[in-house]
Structure 1
Amino acid sequence: MSEKVLMKGNEAIGEAAIRANCQCFFGYPITPQTEVAAYLSRKMTKIGRVFLQAESEVSAINMVYGAAGAGVRVMTSSSSPGISLKAEGISYIAGAELPCVIVNIVRGGPGLGSIQPAQSDYFQATKGGAHGDFNMPVFAPASIQEMVDLIQEAFDVADIYRTPCMIMGDGMLGQMMEPVEFKERVKRELPDKPWASSGLNGRKKHNVINSLFLKPEQLEDHNIKLQEKFKAIKENEVKYELFSCDRENDLVMVAYGTTSRICKNVVRLAEAEGIKVGVVRPITLWPFPAEAFEKTIDKTNHGYLSVEMSCGQMVEDVRLCVEGRKPVNFYGRSGGMVPHPEDILEKVKEIIGGAK
């Protein structure tokens, strides 16, 4: 059994990537995720792998494209404005069906915003992430241990479906320290990569990898193929947690990442006042866990409360899942402000009509 080690979130991301056999990292410094690159800069070259600080985020994501096209495991990381700069490259990677992992440690926005934690990149991540008809799996860890586990899961999912995958944390998860255990994972069956440009598997002819289709009929066929892949991801890769939802509740909160941890404290505070609330925690933000709402909708008397560190982005997906069958409310803080459990509880009381 492996021992637990106290690590900062960003450094744990780097170590998890190494243990997931990431061979290349390309990135550019930006707060609050710079320690990911700093950690990998110290470790990667010592074990014969590639670390390169690119001259910009645009360069970094195109280097990711090249390494992924060669068939090796590759990762980049950044924070909100940096992800925006990578957006064109992310779309090219998705169009070319290349596996990679992209880490976004979200900070407050829009614009340069702040270096404080936020969840205001939800739309950017889940509604495609860049131009064109595509989606990518987005994992939202709520602890450093889960961040470690999901980094390794994301590499597997990327290889299985030939897709970019995103880990979306926030500045608090990146900067905090918690004990983590690097456990042996159940190995998933991964496909070979005969499509790669590097001559893997004894291939004798060159593979040309791009996302350009000049004939509209060909591009439409390619898009239909991509949509079938996204359908398979929706069917097989949804992850979520139900907390205190095995009972009838006055209200069910919906939250992910750091905010979900705060909401679990709200559950305990509410119980002390005779109020029953539960938490639906999406772990995959795309695909969004519609099934979690089917399991809880008949057990919540006053519907749902989406709690976010944003101005209300995930609330739209909650409403799509609920389909008007129960009320969906919103409570959020933005700009790097973190919700307080007591303030969320006051919102719960307002919705249900006061304490019991």
Structure 2
Amino acid sequence: MAEKLLMKGNEVIAEAALRAGCRHYFGYPITPQTEVAHYMAKAMPKINGTFVQAESEVAAINMVYGAAAAGARVLTSSSSPGVSLKQEGISYIAGAELPAVLVNIVRCGPGLGGILPAQCDYFQSVKGGGHGDYKNVVLAPSSVQELYELTVEAFNISDKYRILTIILGDGMLGQMMEAVEFKDKEDIYQDDKKWACTGTKMERESNDVTSIYIQPEVLENHNLKLQAKYKKIEENETRVETYNCENADIIVTAYGTVARIVKNVIKMAEKEGIKVGLIRPISLWPFPTAAFEKYAETPKAFLSVELSAGQMVEDVRLAVNGKRPVHFYGRMGGMIPSQKEVLDKIKEILNK
């Protein structure tokens, strides 16, 4: 029988990672995600796992590199400024094709910012963030239940493609408590990881894990290999929710907790005779372009609602490809848009 518990979002991430087979956690405390580390600090000794509070975020991400290179399922978590410090290591992980999971419970910025909810790390997450031509898979849950499910899925995707997968949430999602239904047994992707550095025991050739390729021809071929992998991920791992989009007057797009606000706006608009659809990207990369292409000519316009100055809206405009106007409404600094604000923006667009 499935287990149902009332838990905080950050703690659910940690529990999901454990259920997914993660036995190594390296991190550094920063709000509003610190409970992930707290949970792991208590849990890992009980299961003969590894918990290290590193001396810095830079150290933590390099410990992730080492554990992943040895074939371990490994997790790190942080919040916006901490993730910025990890970017060099993230690029090295991408270059070495190592599977790992990183959680970013976003705080508002720029700079140190504050611990209130924000989505201002979208560019950093989906456009690489560090140096070089690389991608990370980015998953954006909108509920504590999805935090559990997508964290497990993140480990599976990472192992399947040897890629870093990011769970992108915000302070509201990380701190809220909701009922979560856990499975009795997780569906874990099985990979023998014959490429890992585990010691040869004189039974095989040694493995090398590196992102250093000095010869330009070799480095270009490595990059071409990475780009082919990213194309395969785009074909197979796109995740999206579409809701009420058929014959919609306007389609709103939002991700994470903001999408929950939009669903209530849809109910409010319906009472006033306005049909509002929702496209909720669950994978921010790969971006669900096909969903926007499908409905590109259905509404009068699109509206991207975000906790930022307008970041995902650029990908929406690319996906719609000029077939309809794409508008933007955002709040920053930890401010959350009200349902009335979003509905008023919808009315303003439709009345033009």
Tell me the TM-score normalised to structure 2 length: 0.97
Q: Give 1:322's aligned amino acid.
A: V
Q: Aligned residue for 2:109?
A: 109
The 3-state SS of whatever aligns with 1:38 is helix
Q: Aligned residue for 2:339?
A: 341
Q: Aligned residue for 2:315?
A: 317
The 3-state SS of whatever aligns with 1:102 is strand
Structure 1 residue 249: Cα displacement? 1.0
In the alignment, is residue 274 of structure 1 matched against residue 247 of structure 2? no
Q: Give 2:193's aligned amino acid.
A: K
Q: Give 1:347's aligned amino acid.
A: K
Deviation per CA, 1:250-272, whole angstroms, max 9, x where unpaired?
A: 10000000000000010001011
Structure 1 residue 190: Cα displacement? 3.2
- Tell me if the contact between 1:194 and 1:203 (Cα under 8 Å) persists in the aligned partners: no
Shift of the 303–203 alpha-carbon distance from structure 1 to 2, 3 Å rule, reads: farther
Q: Aligned residue for 1:170?
A: 170
Q: How does 1:126-275 map to 2 (within 5 A)?
A: 126-184=126-184, 187=187, 189-199=189-199, 203-245=203-245, 247-275=246-274
Q: Give 1:14's aligned amino acid.
A: A
Deviation per CA, 1:150-190, whole angstroms, max 9, x where unpaired?
A: 00000000000001100000000000000001125673653
Q: Give 2:218's aligned amino acid.
A: Q
Structure 1 residue 291: Cα displacement? 1.1
Structure 1 residue 191: Cα displacement? 3.0
Shift of the 171–280 alpha-carbon distance from structure 1 to 2, 3 Å rule, reads: same
Equivalents in 2 of 1:202, 1:352: separation in Å? Answer: 71
Shift of the 272–152 alpha-carbon distance from structure 1 to 2, 3 Å rule, reads: same
Segment of structure 1 superposing worse, 206-215 or 68-77: 206-215
| Aligned CA-pair RMSD | 1.4
- Tell me if the contact between 1:141 and 1:283 (Cα under 8 Å) persists in the aligned partners: yes
Q: Aligned residue for 2:349?
A: 351
Structure 1 residue 208: Cα displacement? 2.0
Shift of the 204–148 alpha-carbon distance from structure 1 to 2, 3 Å rule, reads: same
Structure 1 residue 26: Cα displacement? 0.1
- Tell me if the contact between 1:293 and 1:321 (Cα under 8 Å) persists in the aligned partners: yes
Structure 1 residue 201: Cα displacement? 10
In the alignment, is residue 293 of structure 1 matched against residue 288 of structure 2? no
Equivalents in 1 of 2:256, 2:304: separation in Å? Answer: 13
Segment of structure 1 superposing worse, 289-298 or 133-142: 289-298
Q: How many corresponding residue pairs?
A: 352
Q: Aligned residue for 1:10?
A: 10
Which runs of 5 or more residues in structure 2 are unaligned? Answer: none
Shift of the 185–283 alpha-carbon distance from structure 1 to 2, 3 Å rule, reads: farther
Structure 1 residue 200: Cα displacement? 7.6
Shift of the 203–32 alpha-carbon distance from structure 1 to 2, 3 Å rule, reads: farther
2:306 to 299, 305, 308: 308
In the alignment, is residue 74 of structure 1 matched against residue 74 of structure 2? yes
Deviation per CA, 1:38-82, whole angstroms, max 9, x where unpaired?
A: 011001111110011000000000000000000010000000000
Identical amino acids, percent of aligned pairs = 60
- Tell me if the contact between 1:20 and 1:155 (Cα under 8 Å) persists in the aligned partners: yes
Q: Aligned residue for 1:327?
A: 325
The 3-state SS of whatever aligns with 1:312 is coil
Q: Give 1:17's aligned amino acid.
A: A
Equivalents in 2 of 1:203, 1:129: separation in Å? Answer: 39
Equivalents in 1 of 2:193, 2:3: separation in Å? Answer: 34
Which runs of 5 or more residues in structure 1 are unaligned? Answer: none
Deviation per CA, 1:199-254, whole angstroms, max 9, x where unpaired?
A: 38995332221100111111000000000000000000000001111x21110000
Q: Give 1:169's aligned amino acid.
A: G
Equivalents in 1 of 2:203, 2:75: separation in Å? Answer: 25
